[in-house]
Structure 1
Amino acid sequence: MTTRIGVITFPGSLDDRDAQRAVRMAGAEPVALWHGDHDLQGVDAVILPGGFSYGDYLRAGAIAAVSPIMTELKDAAGKGMPILGICNGFQMLVEAHLLPGGLIRNAHQQFIRRDQLLTVENADTAWTHQFSKGQEITIPLKNADGGYIADAETLARVEGEGLVAFRYAGVNPNGSLDDIAGLTNPAGNVVGLMPHPEHAIEPGFGPDTPLAMRSGVDGLAFFTSAVQALQAV
C-alpha cells in the first residue's frame, strides 16, 4: 500500500509544493491539505511547510498554530503520527506546544539564507533514523525568525531528555540557544527544524552548481526515513 503524506497549506505558505515534491521523490504519495479543514484525509504522516503564514503577524506561526486543522494534527501527534515542521512549520509546532520553547527574530535582525552545516544529535526519530548520531549534513537555511529560545528549566529538560534533533555546526546563524537548529518530542514522531531539507533532495536542484548553493541531497533522508518507518509498521 502506498504511503500517503499530507502537506498542509496555510495563507502565506511558499514551500508546500517543494515539500510535496520531496515526498514524491521519497517514493510516497503527497496529499494536499488545507488549513481551514478538519480533515487529515487518512494520511500516514504530515508536513508543516515553510513560508510566512499569515504574514508572520503576532509571532511567526502563532496564527497558523490555531488553524482548524491543527486540532486534528494535535490529536494525530498524540497517537504517534509522524509530523515534520520545516522553518515556519517548526514555528507552528512550538506555538502549538507540540515542541518546547520558542523562536524569535534572528540575533542580527536580518533575514539569512545560506547553506548550513548541521550536526545530527538524535537519529532515533521517525524523520532522522537514516542518519547517524554525530553525522554532519548540509541543508539550506532561509529565515528571519530562527532564534531558538527557552527558559532555563525548559532548556535543561530539552538537553537532558535528548530532545535536540540538530545543532548548527561551524556557525550559529541566528543566535539560537545551545546552537539548537531542530527538536524532537520525547516519542520521536514530531520533529521541527529551521533549515529546509526539501530543498536538498536531488542533484541539480539542491542547488549544487558552482554558481549557487551546494546543498546536494542530504535532505532526502528526512523523507525516506519517514516512509521507511511507516512501511515497517
Structure 2
Amino acid sequence: MRFAVLVFPGSNCDIDCYKAVEQTVGEPVDYVWHTATDLSAYDAILVPGGFSYGDYLRCGAISRFAPVMSEVAKAAEQGKFILGICNGFQILTEAGLLPGALRRNESMKFRCHDSVLKVVNNETPFTRHYSEGQEIVIPIAHGEGNYYCDEETLQQLRDRNQIVFTYSDNPNGSVADIAGICNERGNVLGMMPHPERAVSSLLGSEDGKAMFTSIIQTWRDTHGAASVR
C-alpha cells in the first residue's frame, strides 16, 4: 500500500503525517507537491495541517484550486482513502469533497491542547480498530476549527452516519460537537484534531495510531493481504 502526503506552501504537519505512516504501519510513503497532476500510484492520500497559502481569504480557499486537488477528487471517486487533518479538513470542505465549513473558534483564540473525542462511527476505513463510543485523546491546534453546517445538512450527516468523531469538551463551538465527518461513501474523512500527533506515548497519547492501522487493514482485506495488529 502506498501513501501520499500532500504538501502545499505553508503546510507544517506534512512531516508529522509522513513519520506517523512510516513508524506506525511501515508502508511506502511519499511527499507530493501541490502541483502534481497524477496520484494514480497511491492508495491513500493524506491532506495535512498547517497554514496553506497563509490561510489568506479563508483557510483552504486557495489550496482548493491547486492542480493536485483535481487528482484528489478523482481518487475519492475511485474509492481511495482520503484523510484531511486540520487545514486538510478545511481544504476538503472548500473543495466540496465534504459538506459544511470551518469558521473561527467561538473563543476567537487559537486552541492548542489535548482534546477528548468520542468515536461515533467505527465502521469507516479509518476507525475500524476503535470501538463505538470509545473515548480517545487527540491533540488539537487550530484557530478556525468551528465546524458549521445548516440544519438540513446536519440531519443528513446524522441519518447517513457521517459523523465520525465528536468532542467531549467542544473547544471551538462546533455544531453538534462535531470533530470529524466522512463522505457518504465513507472513504473521505476530515477532522480537526491531529491523530498523527498521537501515535506514541512519548507524544502523550497513542490513540491516533489506530487510524493508520485501520486504513491499512481495510486495504489489506480488500487485497487479500495479511492482517495488521
For the criterion TM > 0.5, the same-fold answer is yes
- Is 1:129 matched up with 2:128? yes
Once residues 172 and 116 of structure 1 are traced to their aligned partners in structure 2, the CA distance between those partners, rounded to angstroms, is 8
Once residues 152 and 117 of structure 1 are traced to their aligned partners in structure 2, the CA distance between those partners, rounded to angstroms, is 25
- Name the TM-score, length of structure 1 as normaliser: 0.93
Answer with 154-163 or 14-23: which moved more: 154-163
Letter in 1 for 2:178: I
- Is 1:9 matched up with 2:13? no
Once residues 5 and 98 of structure 2 are traced to their aligned partners in structure 1, the CA distance between those partners, rounded to angstroms, is 19
In the TM superposition, 1:76-91 aligns within 5 A as 76-91=75-90
**Structure 2 unmatched ranges of 5 or more:** 223-229
Once residues 134 and 203 of structure 1 are traced to their aligned partners in structure 2, the CA distance between those partners, rounded to angstroms, is 22
- Is 1:224 matched up with 2:213? yes
Once residues 64 and 223 of structure 1 are traced to their aligned partners in structure 2, the CA distance between those partners, rounded to angstroms, is 24
The alpha-carbon deviation at position 27 of structure 1 amounts to: 2.1
- Name the TM-score, length of structure 2 as normaliser: 0.95
The alpha-carbon deviation at position 155 of structure 1 amounts to: 1.2
In the TM superposition, 1:65-80 aligns within 5 A as 65-80=64-79
The alpha-carbon deviation at position 41 of structure 1 amounts to: 5.2
In the TM superposition, 1:14-33 aligns within 5 A as 14-25=12-23, 26-33=25-32
RMSD after superposition: 0.8
In the TM superposition, 1:86-101 aligns within 5 A as 86-101=85-100
Q: Percent identity?
A: 48
Once residues 157 and 141 of structure 2 are traced to their aligned partners in structure 1, the CA distance between those partners, rounded to angstroms, is 24
Letter in 1 for 2:181: L
Displaced runs of 4 or more, over 6 A: none
Output one character per residue of 1:176-231: Cα deviation in whole Å (capped at 9) or x when no partner. 00000000111111011000000011121x1x2xxxxxxx1000111111111111
CA contact (8 A) 1:115 1:141 kept: yes
Secondary structure of 1:117's aligned partner: strand
The alpha-carbon deviation at position 158 of structure 1 amounts to: 1.0
Once residues 75 and 151 of structure 1 are traced to their aligned partners in structure 2, the CA distance between those partners, rounded to angstroms, is 27
Match of 1:212 in 2: none
Match of 1:39 in 2: 38
Once residues 51 and 103 of structure 1 are traced to their aligned partners in structure 2, the CA distance between those partners, rounded to angstroms, is 14
Letter in 2 for 1:152: E
CA contact (8 A) 2:47 2:85 kept: yes
CA contact (8 A) 1:122 1:163 kept: yes
- Is 1:159 matched up with 2:158? yes
Answer with 25-34 or 129-138: which moved more: 25-34
